[in-house]
Amino acid sequence: MSRSILITGATRGLGQHLAQHFAARGYRLALTGRDEQALQALAHQLEGQAAQVITAVLDVVDTDAIPGVLEHCAEELKGLDIVVANAGIAIAARGGKGHWQDMRKTIEVNVLGAMATAEAAIALFRRQGHGQLVGITSVAAMRGLPGQGAYCASKAALSRFLQSLRCETLRENIVITELAPGFIDTELNRGMPSRPFVVPAEKGTKIMADMIEKEVAFRFVPGWPWALMGRLLPILPNRIVAGL
């Protein structure tokens, strides 16, 4: 039987492109997100290619709803091989400038939403006896950047959570994959003043889909130049980072 994959935040951006790649590779898909119409439109578009497509409305801020949605999708698809905790937001917010609600929302979606997705996925994988959890962090997890404190903190928190899960599941048939993109062209970063080394979404998500199929533990995406930049960022002096 073909493999199955559930994606959170599949309505736009990386989630939508990943869905297209996995549909073309013959997967059974569970598309989840907040916008039911967008999910239906994507499902309709992918029906001819994917082995099966189902949709489920899911706002990851509603963490109590996540286990039920994963269970439902697993039942419909007769198991979930891969769960991608992709849903995320990035709101520019400098400290002490009245952006607390944006910062709080960033943590709710990127940390609590992704952790709750991971938690439900691992529980499901243990019952199934196998599974792969994919978390989408960021190069921004490597270093606090000006104007992105909450986003950097959220991705660093998710990265550490995934590391812990990788240790905890080491002797089980469970794979934990962390993908840390640099800049991939989506609405998330189109308003940013600068997007160094940005790559088209089609190209970036093909690399991501390949890395997921290879069951890597961690990769920067794309590898060049972010594998180098990701390691340089933490050691750059504050006066240089402040000017970025």
Contact footprint for ligand NAP (CB under 6 A): 8-9, 11-15, 33-35, 58-61, 86-90, 109, 113, 136, 138, 181, 183-184, 186-189
Report in angstroms how near the CB of residue 220 gets to ligand NAP at its nearest. 10
Q: Residue 13 or 230: which CB sits closer to ligand NAP? A: 13
What count of Cα atoms within 13 Å lies in the side-chain half-sphere of residue 100? Answer: 2
Bridge partners of residue 160, in order along the sequence: none
Residue type, 105: K
Report in angstroms how near the CB of residue 228 gets to ligand NAP at its nearest. 17
Q: Residue 2 or 218: which CB sits closer to ligand NAP? A: 218
* 85, 10 contact by CB (below 8 A): no
* 173, 129 contact by CB (below 8 A): yes
Q: How far apart are the first and last CA of the chain?
A: 49
Residues 6+ apart with CB under 8 A from 123: 67
Rounded distance between C-alpha atoms, residue 148 and residue 152, angstroms: 6
Q: Residue 129 or 196: which CB sits closer to ligand NAP? A: 196
Give 158-227 as a 3 state SS string. Answer: HHHHHHHHHHHCCCCCEEEEEEEECCECCHHHHCCCCCCCCECHHHHHHHHHHHHHCCCCEEEECHHHHH
Supply 131's token pair.
Answer: 């599974």
Rounded distance between C-alpha atoms, residue 82 and residue 141, angstroms: 23
Q: Residue 132 or 154: which CB sits closer to ligand NAP? A: 154
Q: Residue 55 or 138: which CB sits closer to ligand NAP? A: 138
Supply 20's token pair.
Answer: 């297209």
Supply 205's token pair.
Answer: 């998500």
Report in angstroms how near the CB of residue 16 gets to ligand NAP at its nearest. 7
- Given the residues 27, 151, 183, 226, select the one marked as catalytic: 151
Asked about 151 being catalytic, the answer comes back as yes
Catalytic residues, by residue number, are: 151
